[in-house]
Amino acid sequence: MTRRLRLAVLASGRGSNLQAILDSIDSGRLDAEVALVLSNTPRCLALDRASQAGITTCCITNKASGGRANQLARIHDALVKADVDLVVNAGFNLILSSVTVEHFQNRMLNIHPSLLPAFAGGMAPKPQRDALEHGVKVSGCTVHLVTDELDAGPILAQATVPVLDDDTPDSLAGRILVEEHKTLPNVIQWFSEGRVRVEGRRTFIVPEPVRQQIAEAAG
Ligand code: GAR
């Protein structure tokens, strides 16, 4: 019997994307379990949401770790110990160590509130503000694999929204967030079904599980 996809969700603030993942699991649209919610911010809403759902939480701050290097090492250890299949950065404002990125190669996602590669870097609402100031007519969100280059890993999915004449960074962020809450659980479900194939910078969502394709090719 194959086990359910085990997730670690990393979040620093509000945790609405975490909530979308939990709701998708509850409603049966996502076949996965959140094994760990990890934060770098004490008493954030994401940790409250996780505790309310009875999920193991862990908060690893810079201060309590005695500096950034130790903090990143402790985060790495917590993720490895949790024995997760996929790490999901859902509003996490810390860049993980190269060791962690390599350990979870092709098994770590990030969601960013712009159509990458446009307006990479920074945390919401900066990318939304940058998009508005640039004058784009469409924006959206991107779910991508995490590599050592910030917001530049292979793209798994994007969703678009219009930019309206009277938008503010907040109103645009709200419209993008609606799409984030659908896109992120959908992508995780593709992983759960073993349907994500990565070829260099390109990713493909195949109809059959990748494992089965490999077995067929070999046999
Ligand atoms: C989301 O909009 C997410 O795309 C963004 O932070 C917000 C977190 O909201 N992430 C980034 O800006 C990453 N660079 P949430 O805590 O309610 O899920």
8 Å CB contact between 40 and 121: no
Q: Which residues pair with 110 in a beta bridge?
A: 89, 144
Question: Which of 76, 112, 144, 181 is an active site residue?
Answer: 112
112 is catalytic: yes
Compute CA distances 14 → 121, 123, 124, 140, 152, whole Å: 19, 13, 11, 19, 24
- The alpha carbon of residue 170 and the mean position of all alpha carbons in its chain are separated, in whole angstroms, by 21
Distance 20 CA to ligand 1 centre (A): 12
Question: Residues lining ligand 1, CB < 6 A?
Answer: 11, 13-17, 90-91, 111-113, 123-124, 127, 141, 177, 180
Tell me the C-alpha distance between 162 and 157, whole Å. 17
Give the distance between the most distant pair of CA atoms in the chain.
59
Measured from the CA of 14, which atom of ligand 1 is nearest?
16
Residue 2 has what pLDDT? 78
Helix (H, G, I), strand (E, B) or coil at 122: coil
The helix (H) or strand (E) run that includes residue 171 is: helix 169-192
| Closest residue by CA, ligand 1 atom 14 | 123
Residues of the chain with pLDDT under 50: none
Pocket test for ligand 1, best of 24, 180, 182, 188 (most atoms within 8 A of CB): 180
Residue 215 has what pLDDT? 65
Measured from the CA of 173, which atom of ligand 1 is nearest?
2
Measured from the CA of 20, which atom of ligand 1 is nearest?
18
Residue 209 has what pLDDT? 75
Q: Which residues contact 122 (CB under 8 A, 6 or more apart)?
A: 130
Helix (H, G, I), strand (E, B) or coil at 128: helix
